[in-house]
Structure 1
Amino acid sequence: MTNQQVVIFDTTLRDGEQSPGASMTHDEKVRIALALERLKVDVIEAGFAISSPGDFKAIHSIAKTVTESTVCSLSRALEKDIDRAAQAIKPAKQGRIHTFIATSPIHMHHKLNMTPEQVIEQAELAVRHARNYIDDVEFSCEDAGRSEVDFLCRVIEAAINAGATTINIPDTVGYTLPHQFGETIKTLIERIPNSDKAVFSVHCHNDLGLAVANSLSAVVNGARQVECTINGLGERAGNASLEELVMVIKTRQDSLKLDTGIDTRHIVPTSRLVSGITGFPVQPNKAIVGANAFAHESGIHQDGFIKNRETYEIMKPEDVGWNTSRITLGKLSGRNAFKVRMEELGITFETQEALNEVFSRFKILADKKSEIYDEDLQALVSDVCSGDVPKKYVLLMMEASSSTNKQPTAAMVINVDGQPHEVTSEGDGPVDAVFKAIEKVVQSGARLALYNVSSMTSGSDSQGGVTVRLEKSGRIVNGIGKDTDIVLASAKAYIDALNLLTIEPRKTNPTSAIM
C-alpha cells in the first residue's frame, strides 16, 4: 500500500507578505513563484487580487508564468472579490479561487455584525458564484479554531453542497492545542454528511509555537492539505513552516504513512531566496534551513557523527539542498558557465541585457572574493531584478572613515530625482555617520526600527547582508543591501528602504488576515 499524498499549499506570497516590512515587488513575487514551482509546491496562493492593483498584476503574471502548480487567489465571500480573483487567475493552466468568511462568535458579532444564518447564506452564495468561474474552489472558515463545532458542521456542509472542493479549517490566532485541533478535524470529517466530497485543509498560525504540531495533528486525523510558508513567514508569529512540515512527513513515513510531492533538494535555495528578498534572516538554529541545522560542535557529537552519520543526523543535508551551496565559479568563469549555473538555481533572464548586467556585476564581485557561492549569485539577481521599484534616491559615492582617536565621518553624493547632492556627517560609528548623512539630504522623518547584519557566506571576504527597517506614519518597509563592504551595504539598505517608502502602499483595501 502506497503512502497517502498530502497537498502542499504555499501562502508565502499572500499570508507571508502580511509580515510587517515583508512586502515584495512584482518581479520578486514572480521569482519566488518560479522557485515554488521548482520545489513542486501543489498550490501557490499568489495574493489577494482585490487588495490592490499591484497584487492583481502580480497574481496575473504568476498565472501566466507558472504551469506546473495551481495558482490561487484569495477573496472574501463577496462577489466583487471573487470577480477580481477570477480575472487575476484567468491565464492559469490550473487555477483556484479561495474564498472565506469568519465563523467564530467573536468575529461574527464584532467584525462582521452578522448572524450565524447570514454567514451560512453568504458562504453558500460566495462558493456558488466562484463555481461560475472555475471548478477548483476552496472555502475557509476564518477563526475556525475558536468556532463552535456544531456551527462549523452546518456551514461546511452548505459550502460543499454549493460546490467547494477544498474545505480549510484555520487556526487563525494560533490558539488551539494539537490534541484539540486534531480531534476537531476528525469530528468534522465524521459528522458532516458530505465530507467525502471535499479535501480537508488546515492553516495554522504560530502564536504559541504550535503551528507545525497542530498541522501534523490535523493530518493524522484526516486532513489532506496543509497551508504553510517558506521559513514560517506570516502574520504576527508566522505560519506553519513548509520545510518543517515536509521533512517531518518525509522523515517519519514509517509512522505517518504519508508523503508529499515536494522536491526537497530545493528547500534550502528557496529558503535563502525568500530570506534575501524579504530581508527576514533565518535564525541559525532554525530546523532544516538554519545555518546550524546540520552543524556538530560538541566533541561527543562529532565523534559519534564521524563513526556513523546517523548517530546525530536523522536527515541528509544534501536531501534538503545544502550540498549545492558551494560552486566553483570565479573571475575566470565564462558567460555560458555563469548562465548554466543560474539556470540550475532556477534563475532565468528575460533579456540578454539583464543577463549581461548580472554577469558584469558577477565579474566585479569575483575580483573581490576568492570564492563565489549560490547566495552571492542570488544576491546579485536581487540587486538587478528590481525594476518595478522607483529609484528616487541613488547612491553615487560614499566614503566613510573611523579610527581610535577621531569621530567617525561619512562623505556621500546622493542623487535625488536626478540631482546630485554632496553631504558630510559625523556619527557614533561609520554606519551611524552614513545614516545621518543620508538623512541630511532626504529628511525623510522615518524612524529606524531595525538594523540587522548577517554574513551571507563563510569567510572574511563574505558579502554582508544588511536589513534596514524604517517606520513612518505606521508604515513599515524593509530595505536590503549587500556588499563585501558592510558600511556600503548599510548605505544601500537605507536608501533601498527610502525608495520603498516613496511607493504608494500596495494594500489599498481593508483586508481580513485569514488564517
Structure 2
Amino acid sequence: MTAAEKIIIFDTTLRDGEQSPGASMTKDEKIRIAKQLERMRVDVIEAGFAAASQGDFESIKAISGIVKDSVICSLSRANDRDIARAAEALAPAERKRIHTFIATSPLHMEKKLRMTPDQVFEQARQAVRFARQFTDDIEFSPEDGSRSDMDFLCRILEAVIAEGATTINFADTVGYGVPELYGNMLKNLRERIPNSDKAVWSVHCHNDLGMAVANSLAGVMIGGARQIECTINGLGERAGNTALEEVVMALRTRKDYFNFEVGIDATQIVPASKLVSQITGFAVQPNKAIVGANAFAHASGIHQDGILKARDTYEIMRAEDVGLSANKIVLGKLSGRNAFKQRLDDLGIGLDSEAEVNAAFTRFKELADRKSDIFDEDIISLVSDEQQSHEKECYRFVSLSQHSETGERPVAKIVFSIDGKEAVSEGQGNGPVDATVNAIESVTQSGAELLLFSVNAITTGTQSQGEVTMRLSRAGRIVNGIGADPDIVVASAKAYLSALNKLQSKSEKLNPQL
C-alpha cells in the first residue's frame, strides 16, 4: 500500500445547503456554523454567494474576519461584477478562494443561458483571468457537468486551467450521475486534458437518485478527484447534497480500501449535525447514517448479545468517534456558571461577551427550574434563542395562556411585543396551537401560508423541551421559524413569531445551482 494522499473536504453547508427552501440563515447563525466547521477542521468553507444579497455579502465578510484555520470561499457567476463582489467580501480572509461557474450542458446553454458554446467558452476564460487579479486560489465549475458534451468539457476546462484555475469541480448538478459512469467520465477528462495535472479535481454531487455519496467516492477512486464538496447532514436543495459525515466516515472506516487521509476531527461531527439541524429546522431522520438517533442503537436481542460480548460484532465504528458519548456530565439547577461556561466551550459555542454568557446562564437557570436535567441539546437551543433575541425583531413572545377541553373549542390568549410595544390578543382554533396562531394572526394579519408544522423532542423523557419548526410562505418567500420550550404550545408561538420576523426581513436570495 502506498502512502495515503489527503482528500480535501470542501463544505458548502452555508451556500448550497442554505438553498434548501426554508433553510436560510442569519449572519450570526452562519458565523456559529462556520466556527463549528473550523473546529471540525474543514479544509475549505464555502461561506456563501456574495453577489446574491447584501446579507450574504456581510456574512462572508464577517466569517472571513473570524475564521483563521480554513480557506474561506465565495461562489460567483462567471462575470466581473460577481467576482469583484466575492473578492470584496473575502478581503479580510487569511486564505481565500473564489469559486466561479457557468453552465456547460447543451440544455442549460440553450434554454437557461441562451448562449452559444463559443460564448460560454470565452466567458469562462475571461472570468478565471479576472478572478486571478484577487487571489491565486481559483475554483471553476462546469455547471451540469455530468450532462455536458465531453469534447466541449475538455476544451473549456483546458482553457480555464491555462488561465489559472487551480481547482476544477466536476458538478453533478441535478444528481444524474451513476457511480461507475460518473467516475469514468471524470477519469476520461483528466486523461484527455493535457494540463489536467495543473489543477486539483473536485466532485460536487447531488442526491436526487440517492447516490451522491457513492458518486463522490467513485469520483475519488475512479476519477482521481482529491476534493469532495459536501454539506452537514446532506443538507441541500431538492434531495440534498453529498453528506460530509458519510464520506468522511467512509474514508476513515474503510481506509483499508480507500487509503486516503482526511484532516477532519470526527468527534465534532455530531455537534455540527445538531447545530445545523437546530438552526435550519431540518430534523435529522432517526435512521440517518452516522448522525441519526438510531445510528448506534441496537434493538435486536441477537445484536444486543453480540455487542455485549464484543462491540465490533455489530458496530464498524464507535459512537465516540463521531462525538457521541454515554458518559456526559448532565447539568442541573445546582450547576454553577463555570460549569455552564465550560460546557459552552466543549460544544464549540463561542459567545462574544461576558454579558451574553451571563444572559445565556440566566436562561439556563430558568430552564433548570422547570426540568431537572439539562442536556447538550437544551444548551444549544437556549443559546440559539438568546442570540436570536439580540437580533432586530419586530415580534417577540411575552406570555401565553390557553385552555383546551374535550368537547370544547380551544382558546388562547397571547401577549407579544410589536416593535417594543405589547399587544394582547385572543383566538380560537381546532387545537391549542391553531388557537394560538389565530390569536397572533388576528393582530399581525401577515397573510402567510403555513407549509410545515413540526414538533421534535430535544432530548428524551416527558420533561424534554419541545422544539417546534414553523415554515411559512408569503409572496414566493419561504422561511423557517424555530422555538423551544417545555410547553410545546409556547414553543409553537415562539416559532411562529420567529418565522414572521424572518418574513419582515428585506433581504432576498438568488439561488444559483451547482
How does the TM-score come out when normalised to structure 2? 0.98
> Does residue 228 of structure 2 align to residue 226 of structure 1?
yes
Q: What is the root-mean-square deviation in Å for CA atoms of aligned residues? A: 1.2
2:283 partner SS: coil
2:409 partner SS: strand
**Quick one: which of 451, 454, 458 aligns to 1:449?**
451
* Whole-angstrom CA distance in 2 between matches of 1:164 and 1:417: 49
CA spacing shift, 1:232–1:403, aligned 2, 3 Å: same
Between stretches 380-389 and 3-12, larger displacement belongs to: 380-389
- Which residue does the alignment assign to 2:191? 190
Contact 1:124 1:158 in 2 (8 A): yes
- Which residue does the alignment assign to 1:308? 310
* Whole-angstrom CA distance in 2 between matches of 1:49 and 1:405: 54
One-letter amino acid matched to 2:331:
L
- Which residue does the alignment assign to 2:368? 366
Q: State the Cα distance separating 1:512 from its structure 2 match.
A: 2.3
How does the TM-score come out when normalised to structure 1? 0.98
- Which residue does the alignment assign to 2:74? 73
One-letter amino acid matched to 1:495:
L
> Does residue 337 of structure 2 align to residue 328 of structure 1?
no
- Which residue does the alignment assign to 2:392? 390
One-letter amino acid matched to 1:512:
P
| Aligned pairs, number | 512
CA spacing shift, 1:324–1:128, aligned 2, 3 Å: farther
**Quick one: which of 438, 441, 448 aligns to 1:439?**
441
2:240 partner SS: coil
Q: State the Cα distance separating 1:511 from its structure 2 match.
A: 4.2
One-letter amino acid matched to 2:354:
Q
Unmatched runs of 5 consecutive residues or more in structure 2? none
1:386 partner SS: helix
Q: State the Cα distance separating 1:390 from its structure 2 match.
A: 2.7
> Does residue 341 of structure 2 align to residue 339 of structure 1?
yes
2:216 partner SS: helix
Contact 1:279 1:478 in 2 (8 A): yes
Percentage identity across aligned positions?
A: 60
Q: State the Cα distance separating 1:420 from its structure 2 match.
A: 2.2
**Quick one: which of 250, 259, 276 aligns to 2:252?**
250
Q: State the Cα distance separating 1:258 from its structure 2 match.
A: 1.2
> Does residue 53 of structure 2 align to residue 52 of structure 1?
yes
* Whole-angstrom CA distance in 2 between matches of 1:356 and 1:157: 56
Contact 2:98 2:135 in 1 (8 A): yes
* Whole-angstrom CA distance in 2 between matches of 1:3 and 1:323: 29
Contact 1:389 1:499 in 2 (8 A): no
* Whole-angstrom CA distance in 2 between matches of 1:391 and 1:70: 33
**Per-residue Cα deviation, 1:367-416 (whole angstroms, up to 9, x for no partner):** 11211111111111110112674321122220012222432211112222
* Whole-angstrom CA distance in 2 between matches of 1:353 and 1:106: 55
Contact 2:55 2:507 in 1 (8 A): no
One-letter amino acid matched to 1:374:
D
- Which residue does the alignment assign to 1:512? 512
**Per-residue Cα deviation, 1:106-152 (whole angstroms, up to 9, x for no partner):** 11111112111221111111111111110100000000010011111
1:285-300 matches, within 5 Å, as 285-300=287-302
**Per-residue Cα deviation, 1:453-509 (whole angstroms, up to 9, x for no partner):** 0011111111111000111111111000001111110110011111111001332xx
Q: State the Cα distance separating 1:357 from its structure 2 match.
A: 0.5
1:113-512 matches, within 5 Å, as 113-221=114-222, 222-323=224-325, 326-386=328-388, 389-507=391-509, 510-512=510-512
Contact 1:211 1:240 in 2 (8 A): yes
One-letter amino acid matched to 2:132:
R
- Which residue does the alignment assign to 1:10? 11
Between stretches 476-485 and 112-121, larger displacement belongs to: 112-121
CA spacing shift, 1:477–1:459, aligned 2, 3 Å: same
* Whole-angstrom CA distance in 2 between matches of 1:102 and 1:129: 18
Contact 1:55 1:506 in 2 (8 A): no
Unmatched runs of 5 consecutive residues or more in structure 1? none
> Does residue 11 of structure 2 align to residue 28 of structure 1?
no
Contact 1:327 1:372 in 2 (8 A): no
2:177 partner SS: coil
* Whole-angstrom CA distance in 2 between matches of 1:90 and 1:395: 39
Q: State the Cα distance separating 1:69 from its structure 2 match.
A: 0.3
Contact 2:19 2:511 in 1 (8 A): no
